[in-house]
Structure 1
Amino acid sequence: MQAAPLPVLDRPDTSPAGLRWRNRYAALGPAFHTRLAAQALPQPHWVAVSGSTARLLGWPSDWAERPDWRALEVLSGGADWAGSEPLATVYSGHQFGVWAGQLGDGRALLLGEIDTPDGPMELQLKGGGRTPYSRMGDGRAVLRSSIREFLCSEAMHFLGIPTTRALAVVGSPLPVRRETIETAAVVTRVAPSFVRFGHFEHFAHHGLPAELRALADFVIEHHYPACRDAANPYAALLEAVARRTAALMADWQAVGFCHGVMNTDNLSILGLTIDYGPFGFLDGFDPGHVCNHSDHQGRYAYARQPGVAFWNLHALAQAMLPLIAMGDEVTEATGELALAAIEPYKAVFADAMATRLRSKLGLATARDDDGALADDWLKLMAAERADHTITWRRLAQWSPAEPQAVRDLFLDRPAFDAWAGRYAQRLAAEGRVEAERRLQMDRANPKYVLRNHLCENAIRAAQGGDFGETQRLLKVLERPFDEQPEHSAYAEFPPGWAQTLEVSCSS
């Protein structure tokens, strides 16, 4: 059911040189979205900008300060760029495993799609005010959550993990109520597409086969063109999404990233990390770690993420059954074809995880017993809650002659020594140059990740009016695999007070 549109505001516009708008999603029609303008933040100010994302867009380095761009007005919701077509999209989804019905962009607004050197990219404001899909929400984002999303979007990109990007954060003194009264902000997000599993679920659930087909054809045409010539393009699309999702899950698990709220409306059809809310990077390695304080049942615990992604693919497959049937009646054979399309997820994830673990262990070749070696290492880390990032990073410097930097992280020294003996034999069997092995490991095991306490420091400083720490932290996270000795404090063990930090769905 299409929500009633909100009134369109009378607002100025401007036309920055070089912005060429496509707006292909807008052309799908009113069943897919509601057109409306953002609601302006009062007294907006810049909090942070990403030079890297601006370069991705092909924008000049001074874009944020150019008077003719009026970027602060536009990205705070107070003006439009000529050629943009602001809209909020409608979708549905399963939240915490339960069908939630119609959802949609409750606090996000797609400004439109522009041409860039890397192909078309969509620009989206998160926190731009109420939309028809806000339900009981205010449509706003707060400074705290906006800084978290901004930093993590960029951190994930520089870790080499597929993600939406963040261009800027704009703040305002506008009060917003969450658990307490906070100030408002808007983060500008960038991606080739923000289409989610939930978009497909919406049209399937509401019995709109023409719209479901139009959405699938749109995604195939613009993002999965290789599927067009398959015998069943829609089954091919489902398989392609399953493969990308599997690779993404391996990326998350390898770096110790916890998403926190893997609802079907929070999974990208392009296999991107999307919707940064109660995320967290592991400190002490705990496979059962639940980063979302609102996840009382632990559904989205770290170790469960790959299984949840596969569950979500089943939900997507269910939604796509009418398409896979190719106009015929949905039969048992249709279901078997859909299940066959997502089945490769298991092997792709297993292979991708094995590849990443070998790289993290510094192994250049594959042997049958590598899985057991990696599993036993992870069990050893879990038994003592060894710090995930520091322990992996220090392992690169380990050798039988110099074991202490890693060995000292474990109380059970005999258990470590037993594993290290097996590891030494495995390395010796390869006969690699030690410097090459260490270089490989340093490229696979980051020294710097966005730990919660680092983010909290930046947030507290920004809440006090100092935005410098956000930009400093961003610069460190843009080089996560480099030593950066001048910034070594950002790679230290988390302080004691970090144990009390909690993040929830409002984060």
Structure 2
Amino acid sequence: MNQDVAAPVRELDLGVRWRHTFAGLGPAFHTELAPLPLPEPYLVGLNRRLADELGLDADRLRGDAGVAALTGSLPIAGTRPLASVYSGHQFGVWAGQLGDGRAVLLGEIDAAGGPQELQFKGSGRTPYSRMGDGRAVLRSSIREYLCSEAMHGLGIPTTRALSVTGSDAPVRRETVETAAVVVRVAPSFVRFGHFEHFAARGQEEPLRRLADYVIDRHYPGCRSSGRFGGNAYAALLEQVSERTAALLAQWQAVGFCHGVMNTDNMSILGLTIDYGPFQFLDAFDPGHVCNHSDETGRYAYNRQPNIAYWNLFGLGQALLPLIGDEATTLAALESYKTVFPRELESRMRAKLGLGDSREGDRALIEGILQRLAADKVDYPIFWRRLSQHVAGAAIEPVRDLFLDRAAFDAWLLDYAARLPADRATAGLAMLRTNPKYVLRNHLAELAIRRAQQKDFGGVAELLAVLQSPFDEHPAHEALAGFPPEWASHIEISCSS
């Protein structure tokens, strides 16, 4: 008998210690199950920077066993896979029980920035899949992998992605596509819908257990806060409202459209979560709807701030049994109405290079947004060119973006008068505020087309650029250009 033949690998030890705090909430919150294997998995992209932050060996993950483990085809030692249950409102309508229909939480590990949970997306059917197959397709998986890291590079709170793996296993959507799995990373994947689930069922004990879990792990200050007479649950709602307000201000300032802001897609930590039909604006259109499935325009770009408050109101209703009265609940939500406009104005002033707040700034901000909308000016390119101008470049490349140059020139006179005396310093600050690179739809589409032919170079190239979107990257100048005409015909829907 040949003693040199290696035994088959039954599980992969990543050399980290796993904890399972969410699993400790009990069976009412989840179902334990293993991810379903995919045949002959291959690596599409690995986020080495995030692997290092998690204390994982990126080279090992690139090996056959590592790729199999990242796909769910090889168990990872120490994990305790589970799918969580939640409910939610979808497109403003109560959808009842939902849950992780194609996601499996592996557990939690220590990382440079604190404890992080790892979750498979696309790992097969769960008890919450309803009529779905539990799979994700390569197309949408690449979009999430790239955009979550793009948002992180922009400094916007977000879940992140460690890897995307693929398989030639067929998955039927509008057409037959191929399967993929994303490994997502976040301090927590708890959503507004987790609270709505137990509140809708009148199950106050698990509702309280969930709230206590979130407070103790992520909002411990709510226990000692003097707000609302020491009511920790009201303080939690206020904190979530303020984080959500700050997040929405960042979305609006950078021109990001989420596309499907259902309550089950809203993070209790104020993270950008669930990258489905998202889009960064090309031409500035306040009423832009990026989700082809959103026939009523509920989640249009300019409606996102109000939708976020609507969703927070739903969270408030869910927490009402714990908070105790409607007046306190409404008071806890009130801060959203002050934090969002304050944060948005602050971020727009930063985009304009205005350090302090002065009377007339709001009119200056509204004035340029009106000009951008009237002439359908490319949003990222305008802000980058304006930054370069303030830093010392000519004004002509900025003026060339406008059809009505006289109207822009009139605004420019007011802006020039408002700029600080040290324009060079202001311009440099603007260049660190207004990104040169965002994940436009056509850039993702080109990388996806290459990946469908097993060429993953476009994915790697975009990831590297998007991780530092404010840098010049002269070798990748084309990625910062105007979108091609065909980009306007790309349709992104909820199908993934």
TM-score bracket relative to the smaller structure: over 0.9
| Correspondence 1:178-197 to 2 at 5 A | 178-197=173-192
Query: 2:162 & 2:355 partners in 1: Cα distance?
Result: 37
1:425 lines up with 2:424 in the alignment: no
- CA offsets, 1:197-240, max 9 Å, x none? 00000000011100000000000000001011230000000000
1:240 lines up with 2:229 in the alignment: no
TM, length-normalised to structure 1: 0.94
Classify the secondary structure of the residue corresponding to 1:228. Answer: helix
Deviation at 1:401, TM superposition (A): 9.1
Deviation at 1:119, TM superposition (A): 1.8
Deviation at 1:115, TM superposition (A): 1.9
| Correspondence 1:135-146 to 2 at 5 A | 135-146=130-141
Classify the secondary structure of the residue corresponding to 1:129. Answer: coil
In structure 2, the gaps of 5 or more residues are 1-8
1:344 lines up with 2:335 in the alignment: yes
Deviation at 1:66, TM superposition (A): 5.3
Q: 2:384 aligns with which of 389, 393, 397?
A: 393
Query: 2:387 & 2:117 partners in 1: Cα distance?
Result: 39
Deviation at 1:63, TM superposition (A): 3.2
Q: 2:161 aligns with which of 166, 173, 177?
A: 166
The residue identity in structure 2 corresponding to 1:362 is G
Summarize the Cα distance change of 1:61–1:76 in structure 2 as closer, same or farther, 3 Å threshold. closer
- CA offsets, 1:160-198, max 9 Å, x none? 000000000110000000000000000000000000000
Summarize the Cα distance change of 1:350–1:111 in structure 2 as closer, same or farther, 3 Å threshold. same
Deviation at 1:12, TM superposition (A): 3.2
8 Å contact 2:14–2:56 — kept in the other structure? no
8 Å contact 2:37–2:71 — kept in the other structure? yes
1:97 corresponds to which residue? Answer: 92
1:37 lines up with 2:34 in the alignment: yes
2:258 corresponds to which residue? Answer: 259
8 Å contact 2:87–2:97 — kept in the other structure? yes
1:373 lines up with 2:364 in the alignment: yes
Classify the secondary structure of the residue corresponding to 1:220. Answer: helix
Query: 1:31 & 1:385 partners in 2: Cα distance?
Result: 50
The residue identity in structure 1 corresponding to 2:306 is G
Classify the secondary structure of the residue corresponding to 1:80. Answer: coil
Deviation at 1:434, TM superposition (A): 2.1
1:250 corresponds to which residue? Answer: 249
1:62 lines up with 2:59 in the alignment: yes
1:282 corresponds to which residue? Answer: 281
Classify the secondary structure of the residue corresponding to 1:118. Answer: coil
Query: 1:454 & 1:73 partners in 2: Cα distance?
Result: 28
Query: 1:244 & 1:237 partners in 2: Cα distance?
Result: 11
Deviation at 1:398, TM superposition (A): 2.8
Greater shift in the superposed pair: 117-126 or 129-138: 117-126
8 Å contact 2:43–2:62 — kept in the other structure? no
1:322 lines up with 2:313 in the alignment: no
Greater shift in the superposed pair: 109-118 or 358-367: 109-118
Query: 1:401 & 1:499 partners in 2: Cα distance?
Result: 30
- CA offsets, 1:336-390, max 9 Å, x none? 1001001000111111101101100011121021000000100000001100000
Deviation at 1:60, TM superposition (A): 2.7
2:345 corresponds to which residue? Answer: 354
Query: 2:21 & 2:112 partners in 1: Cα distance?
Result: 17
1:436 corresponds to which residue? Answer: 425
1:13 corresponds to which residue? Answer: 11
Query: 1:345 & 1:65 partners in 2: Cα distance?
Result: 44
Query: 1:31 & 1:113 partners in 2: Cα distance?
Result: 20
Query: 1:116 & 1:154 partners in 2: Cα distance?
Result: 17
2:3 corresponds to which residue? Answer: none
Query: 2:77 & 2:450 partners in 1: Cα distance?
Result: 35
- CA offsets, 1:395-428, max 9 Å, x none? 113369932111111010110111001011111x
| Correspondence 1:463-474 to 2 at 5 A | 463-474=452-463
Greater shift in the superposed pair: 52-61 or 272-281: 52-61
The residue identity in structure 2 corresponding to 1:250 is A
- CA offsets, 1:87-137, max 9 Å, x none? 000000000000000000001110111122322111100000000000000
1:26 lines up with 2:1 in the alignment: no
Q: Percent identity?
A: 63
Deviation at 1:13, TM superposition (A): 2.4
1:506 corresponds to which residue? Answer: 495
Query: 2:470 & 2:144 partners in 1: Cα distance?
Result: 21
Classify the secondary structure of the residue corresponding to 1:21. Answer: coil
Query: 2:67 & 2:459 partners in 1: Cα distance?
Result: 18
Classify the secondary structure of the residue corresponding to 1:445. Answer: coil
Query: 2:118 & 2:211 partners in 1: Cα distance?
Result: 21
The residue identity in structure 2 corresponding to 1:425 is A
Classify the secondary structure of the residue corresponding to 1:396. Answer: helix
Greater shift in the superposed pair: 291-300 or 363-372: 363-372
TM, length-normalised to structure 2: 0.96
Query: 1:60 & 1:75 partners in 2: Cα distance?
Result: 13
8 Å contact 2:148–2:158 — kept in the other structure? yes
1:364 lines up with 2:362 in the alignment: no
1:331 corresponds to which residue? Answer: none
Query: 1:63 & 1:335 partners in 2: Cα distance?
Result: 53
- CA offsets, 1:128-161, max 9 Å, x none? 0000000000000000000000000000000000
Summarize the Cα distance change of 1:401–1:53 in structure 2 as closer, same or farther, 3 Å threshold. closer
8 Å contact 2:11–2:74 — kept in the other structure? yes
Query: 1:38 & 1:296 partners in 2: Cα distance?
Result: 34
- CA offsets, 1:29-57, max 9 Å, x none? 00000000000010100000101211221
Query: 1:389 & 1:197 partners in 2: Cα distance?
Result: 31
The residue identity in structure 1 corresponding to 2:445 is E
Moved over 4 A (4+): none
- CA offsets, 1:450-486, max 9 Å, x none? 0000000000000011011100111111110011111
The residue identity in structure 1 corresponding to 2:179 is A
Query: 2:393 & 2:470 partners in 1: Cα distance?
Result: 25
2:408 corresponds to which residue? Answer: 416
1:484 corresponds to which residue? Answer: 473
Classify the secondary structure of the residue corresponding to 2:356. Answer: coil
Query: 1:294 & 1:95 partners in 2: Cα distance?
Result: 12
Classify the secondary structure of the residue corresponding to 1:99. Answer: strand
Classify the secondary structure of the residue corresponding to 2:205. Answer: helix
Greater shift in the superposed pair: 100-109 or 361-370: 361-370
2:447 corresponds to which residue? Answer: 458
Query: 2:57 & 2:42 partners in 1: Cα distance?
Result: 20
1:112 lines up with 2:107 in the alignment: yes
Classify the secondary structure of the residue corresponding to 1:461. Answer: helix
Query: 1:94 & 1:284 partners in 2: Cα distance?
Result: 30
Deviation at 1:323, TM superposition (A): 0.6
8 Å contact 2:241–2:312 — kept in the other structure? yes
Query: 1:65 & 1:305 partners in 2: Cα distance?
Result: 39
